[in-house]
Chains A and B, each alone.
Chain A
Amino acid sequence: MPASLTGHTRESLTTWLTERIALYLKRQPSEIDAAVPLAEYGLDSVAAFGLCGDIEEDFDFVLEPTAAWDYPTVHALADHLIAEFAAAEGGAS
């Protein structure tokens, strides 16, 4: 069980996702509204796969490539990650 899966909150993941997405889009994190669909900001469907790769890299957790399609806002994605991380921890222990 990678230690990196524990101790995340909606807030910490929201911050991580907002910062990452801001970098993708060459914007300030303050410009990214966590309730607005990422596609509104111009994040295209294939680039969303890159986001899943980054989550994999930083959290050592493999996510469906389409996760950012199905959970299209920062908030939705943060909630999804919390649930997935918890499920993985539950499954591992």
Chain B
Amino acid sequence: MLTGSLPQGAPEAPATGQETRVTARVAELEKRLGDPTDEKNPVSYARLLEADEAGEISEAGERVLDEAVLNADFVPREHGGRLERIDTLVRVMRQVFRRDVTLGLGYGVTSFMAGVNVWTAGSAEQRERLARILLDGGKVSVAYHELAHGNDFVRNEFAAKDAPGGGYLLSGEKQVINNADRAAAWVLFSRTSQAPGSRSHSVVFAERAGLDAGSYRVLPRYDAVGVRGCHLSGLHFDDTPVPADALVGKTGMGVELALRAFQITRSAVPGMALGAADTSLRTVVSFALGRELYRKSVMDIPHARATLSGAFLDLLACDSLSVAATRAVHLLPDQTSVYAAATKYLVPKMLTETMHDLSIVLGARFYVREGEFGIFQKHIRDLPVLSLGHAGSAACQATIIPQLARLARRSWFAEDPAPGALFRLREDLPDIPFDKLTLASGRDALSATLVAAVEELPSSTPEERAVHGIALKMMDELRQLQEASLALSPENRTALASPATFALADRYAVLLAAASAIGVWQQARFGDDTFLADPSWLAAVLHRLARRLGQQPPDLPAAVDARLHEEVLRRFESRRSFDLYNTPLAG
């Protein structure tokens, strides 16, 4: 699958089928959703805030997404849907999260998460059934979680017991499950053996239609701090029969299937939610330009201005990691385990910090629930869902930790760099290789991109020299990480590892983000996007990531700040997204 490391800076190939389709889809959604700042628009921020206050998911929003048949984006093309790439799905869903995290999660993402299990291991018939349900507008819940066991899902008790006449009897409870009440089907992570360990669970695809209604019930809804319109409830089953063909994949394959499906969903969801941070930046730029203090606009206060540029850089860094992780699903499926965990760990954490920084500039208005800036407090309440749901931050670090020693020994400083295609934002990719995702491989071509870059990066301009200097320090950091990982004692290779070991996983994730940004720039260098082609953004992203690692890189050339500020203003005024894609927005 490796296409080798292409000469750096190959120009982007002209738009092809996939790119044409995703650009059109993103534009279509934006058009259907309309101007978010126009209060007369039923899916404007003002109306979405009202729905949130009422604890409801926006009816108008769901209608628009139904009309667009958004569910088709969760169904592979071979089954009649639009799903062909994970990175392009992220771009589509980002449009929804930009506006309303509740709609993003509540309308769709959990149906996608459920679906991945069935696309990965389901029978032809199950895939057909699921495609039909989704294309008809039905929702599907992903029911893994039990309150009693949290991230320790290998101890989950909800059971699918062998029924006397064949098939299974479902019994037990699943809690805090999105759309449990209204889903047409549930993907249930179920115990099929009493033995402890990782071969005792299986995945069951249960359709609501045809179930014995007297033997199961939906539990009361939870009231949460954020995503208040989401239908979070639970399910209680009392020996509810399901047929034998409800089993997805083989008996005992549940944990393995979950860990493989997570590689896709954990790579994808953080990049989708990036849309909410994008809107938050836009909201605060609007505030900073409009508000006058000390006879200047807030935007003229250097600290405020730097905070906004910093938020933009965070979005670019997070998007770079998200792009590498989602494209790795297609190109480096044997390596995706660590990239997905790093993305799910780092992106929510960085975006939460970005939101905090932005809230400081917004000042007291950040506490106001309505009006022009009301969407900000909603997004700041909704975004943490990203790191809570679907594996907490520490659980993601715990996925990386047992792999560190092996990566250090086998891969770092020995691996070939990732293929350039990993970073070419708009280039076609082969189909999603659901069956090639590997639980742990001990390989990492992304960090090798960082190592190779130190040799390859140009250094004629001050910006290029800044990039080169920081990349060199990042490579030193990878060397230290390698030494520390090799020296990890056995007890530091499990979830019981010391806090210092968790810090290693953190530093590794930051290095992967840096490598991704470098890769993106190398490929964009001779492309059409003049901002991405310019090394200024990369220098600033690396500078920010280096500071995150506790390094003290030298100040950047003065022109970098000006370039970033100009871009923030340009994107605000021309209604473009603050991510790698510079997407036209409705408002």
A: which residues have CB within 8 A of B? 20, 23-26, 37-40, 42-50, 52-54, 56-57, 65-66, 69-70, 72
B contact residues around A40 at 8 Å (CB): 196
Q: A24-B490, A49-B402 are in contact. Are A37 and B195 (CB under 8 A)?
A: yes
Ordered by A's residue number, 27 sampled pairs between the chains whose C-beta atoms are within 8 Å are: A23-B489, A23-B490, A24-B493, A24-B494, A24-B496, A25-B494, A38-B197, A42-B496, A43-B494, A44-B154, A45-B154, A45-B255, A46-B259, A46-B399, A46-B495, A49-B439, A50-B406, A50-B490, A50-B493, A50-B494, A52-B440, A53-B409, A53-B440, A53-B442, A66-B198, A69-B198, A72-B197
B199 to A69, Cβ gap below 8 A?
yes
Q: A47-B402, A57-B409 are in contact. Are A65 and B496 (CB under 8 A)?
A: no
B398 at the A interface (CB under 8 A): yes
Q: A46-B398, A46-B495, A57-B409 are in contact. Are A20 and B490 (CB under 8 A)?
A: yes
* Contact bitstring B188-213, A, C-beta under 8 A = 1, else 0: 00000001111100000000000000
How far, in angstroms, from A19 to B442 measured CA to CA in the complex? 24
B contact residues around A24 at 8 Å (CB): 490-491, 493-494, 496
A89 CB, min distance to chain B CBs, angstroms: 23
A46 to B402, Cβ gap below 8 A?
yes
- Given contacts A39-B198, A66-B439, 5 further A-B pairs with CB under 8 A are A44-B495, A48-B402, A53-B442, A72-B198, A72-B199
A-B pairs with lowest CB-CB distance, top 7: A50-B402, A23-B490, A47-B494, A53-B406, A39-B196, A50-B493, A69-B198
A contact residues around B491 at 8 Å (CB): 23-26
How far, in angstroms, from A72 to B440 measured CA to CA in the complex? 18
B266 CB, min distance to chain A CBs, angstroms: 13
How far, in angstroms, from A20 to B402 measured CA to CA in the complex? 14
Cβ-closest chain B residue relative to A56? B406
A65 to B495, Cβ gap below 8 A?
no
B contact residues around A43 at 8 Å (CB): 494
Q: A23-B490, A47-B493, A54-B490 are in contact. Are A70 and B199 (CB under 8 A)?
A: yes
How far, in angstroms, from A83 to B418 measured CA to CA in the complex? 36
Q: A24-B490, A54-B490 are in contact. Are A47 and B195 (CB under 8 A)?
A: no
Chain B residues bordering chain A, tally (CB within 8 A): 29
How far, in angstroms, from A42 to B152 measured CA to CA in the complex? 10
A contact residues around B259 at 8 Å (CB): 45-46
B449 at the A interface (CB under 8 A): no
A65 to B440, Cβ gap below 8 A?
yes
* Contact bitstring B68-87, A, C-beta under 8 A = 1, else 0: 00000000000000000000
Cβ-closest chain A residue relative to B199? A69
How far, in angstroms, from A43 to B155 measured CA to CA in the complex? 12
B250 CB, min distance to chain A CBs, angstroms: 13
B256 at the A interface (CB under 8 A): yes
A39 to B403, Cβ gap below 8 A?
no
B contact residues around A53 at 8 Å (CB): 402-403, 405-406, 409, 440, 442, 493
Cβ-closest chain A residue relative to B493? A50
How far, in angstroms, from A24 to B493 measured CA to CA in the complex? 7
A contact residues around B199 at 8 Å (CB): 69-70, 72
* Contact bitstring B370-407, A, C-beta under 8 A = 1, else 0: 00000000000000000000000000001101110110
How far, in angstroms, from A20 to B494 measured CA to CA in the complex? 12
B197 to A47, Cβ gap below 8 A?
no
Cβ-closest chain A residue relative to B405? A53
Q: A46-B495, A50-B494, A72-B199 are in contact. Are A57 and B405 (CB under 8 A)?
A: yes
A contact residues around B439 at 8 Å (CB): 49, 65-66
B255 CB, min distance to chain A CBs, angstroms: 5
How far, in angstroms, from A87 to B439 measured CA to CA in the complex? 24
B496 to A37, Cβ gap below 8 A?
no
A25 to B402, Cβ gap below 8 A?
no
How far, in angstroms, from A72 to B491 measured CA to CA in the complex? 19
B367 CB, min distance to chain A CBs, angstroms: 40
A72 to B495, Cβ gap below 8 A?
no
B197 to A37, Cβ gap below 8 A?
yes
How far, in angstroms, from A24 to B491 measured CA to CA in the complex? 4
* Contact bitstring B431-444, A, C-beta under 8 A = 1, else 0: 00000001110100
Q: Which of B242-298 contact A (CB under 8 A)?
A: 255-256, 259
B403 to A49, Cβ gap below 8 A?
yes
A contact residues around B493 at 8 Å (CB): 24, 47, 50, 53-54
B contact residues around A66 at 8 Å (CB): 198, 256, 439
Cβ-closest chain B residue relative to A26? B491
* Contact bitstring B472-504, A, C-beta under 8 A = 1, else 0: 000000000000000001110111100000000
Contact of A44 among B406, B489, B494 (CB under 8 A): B494
How far, in angstroms, from A65 to B255 measured CA to CA in the complex? 13
A51 CB, min distance to chain B CBs, angstroms: 8
How far, in angstroms, from A35 to B494 measured CA to CA in the complex? 21
B398 to A26, Cβ gap below 8 A?
no
A contact residues around B399 at 8 Å (CB): 46
A contact residues around B494 at 8 Å (CB): 24-25, 43-44, 47, 50
A40 CB, min distance to chain B CBs, angstroms: 5
B399 CB, min distance to chain A CBs, angstroms: 5
How far, in angstroms, from A20 to B493 measured CA to CA in the complex? 11
B contact residues around A69 at 8 Å (CB): 197-199, 255-256
Cβ-closest chain B residue relative to A20? B490
How far, in angstroms, from A39 to B491 measured CA to CA in the complex? 15
How far, in angstroms, from A66 to B491 measured CA to CA in the complex? 19
